[in-house]
């Protein structure tokens, strides 16, 4: 047993090369024949790009789109429309762990992965190539509808909030206008800048002011700055209202329009070649396994002769 080294093993295998070769060939042949009993699968591939979505500080638009493709809502709506539980032979009512099994099989047949160019590649695998293509197309459609539904819900909230802000600012404008009107009526001020210039000229000439003109001068002197502040607040509020109204129109369009969020880079393909089983890989693995197992058996059976 002390001499049971690599050279001895090699010599032992050379002496049994015929047995080893027959075993490898037989295992490969059986594996090749066995592949015909395995159901063939076909893969439909599509590539899509996110549009009309906005990046956040944490997620890019492609990451957001990828999360939607993994949505449970999309998964089970697709399962309902294509009867995937039945198609995969899963009984969720009577079979223990049926839902977990479905999730596993779904993850095995529906794969999503980001590309180097911020798009998303989708691959859908099925025993029927036409069904694989249809499910891929429907998956994209359902995802787009889910994003649209969520965006519309959010945009409607924005519209409601924008209307509330506009209503509040309209009240603010009304209040400011009433304050300005009160000051002007109290001191008979129509245009404080023009009247101030005229009063300044009269005072410079040494002319005596009438009671009405004196009241105007007092009002401009005491309330002039208040009027300037109030008018400034009105300008600011009006600008804010215009900006909010413009934004609310965009929200309104997004909440009611048929906006798409998925752009096709490559439409779902109709596969004409199976993706599984890969017979060459199965045959090679079977042959290598048989070779390894036969080697171990030969070595064990002849260890006393080594």
Going by pLDDT thresholds of 50, 70 and 90, the confidence category of residue 2 is: very low
| C-alpha dihedral sign at 104, 108, 110, 116 | positive
For residue 178, what are its two tokens? 């009433």
The burial of 153, by beta-carbon neighbours within 10 Å (0-12 exposed, 13-18 middle, 19 or more buried), is given as exposed
- What's the pLDDT score for residue 207? 65
Look-up: residue for tokens 């989708």? 122
The pLDDT of 102-112, averaged and rounded, is 93
Q: Which two tokens stand for residue 255?
A: 């909440």
Count helices and strands (H / E) in the chain: 10, 5
| pLDDT, tens digit (0-9, with 9 covering 90-100), for 249-262 | 877 777 777 888 99
Contact 247, 163 (CB under 8 A): no
Alpha helices in 16-120 (DSSP H): 17-34, 61-69, 72-82, 84-87, 98-109
Tens of pLDDT, residues 122-168? 999 998 999 999 999 999 999 999 999 988 888 888 888 888 998 99
Predicted model pTM: 0.66
**pLDDT tens digits, 163-199:** 899 899 999 999 999 988 888 888 777 777 777 777 7
pLDDT of 208 above 90: no
d(CA 290, CA 34): 15
């Amino acid at each position: 047993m002390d001499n049971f080294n690599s050279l001895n093993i090699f010599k032992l295998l050379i002496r049994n090369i015929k047995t080893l070769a027959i075993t490898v060939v037989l295992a490969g042949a059986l594996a090749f024949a066995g592949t015909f009993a395995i159901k063939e699968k076909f893969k439909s591939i599509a590539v899509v790009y996110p549009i009309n979505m906005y990046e956040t500080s944490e997620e890019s638009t492609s990451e957001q789109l990828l999360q939607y493709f993994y949505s449970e809502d999309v998964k089970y709506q697709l399962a309902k429309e294509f009867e995937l539980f039945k198609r995969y032979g899963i009984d969720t009512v009577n079979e223990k762990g049926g839902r977990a099994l479905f999730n596993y099989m779904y993850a095995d047949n529906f794969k999503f992965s980001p590309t180097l160019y911020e798009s998303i590649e989708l691959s859908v695998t099925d025993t029927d190539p036409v069904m694989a293509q249809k499910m891929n197309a429907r998956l994209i459609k359902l995802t787009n509808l889910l994003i649209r539904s969520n965006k519309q819900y959010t945009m409607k909230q924005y519209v409601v909030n924008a209307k509330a802000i506009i209503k509040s600012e309209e009240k603010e404008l009304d209040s400011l206008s009433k304050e300005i009107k009160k000051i002007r009526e109290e001191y008979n001020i129509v245009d404080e800048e023009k009247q101030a210039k005229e009063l300044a000229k009269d005072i410079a000439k040494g002319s005596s002011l009438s009671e009405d003109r004196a009241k105007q001068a007092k009002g401009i002197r005491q309330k002039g700055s208040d009027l300037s502040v109030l008018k400034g607040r009105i300008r600011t509020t009006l600008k804010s209202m215009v900006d909010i109204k413009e934004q609310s129109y965009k929200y309104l369009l997004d909440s009611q329009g048929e906006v798409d969020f998925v752009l096709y880079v490559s439409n779902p393909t109709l596969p004409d070649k199976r993706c599984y089983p890969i017979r060459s890989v199965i045959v090679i693995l079977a042959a290598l396994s048989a070779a390894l197992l036969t080697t171990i058996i030969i070595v064990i059976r002849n260890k006393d002769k080594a």
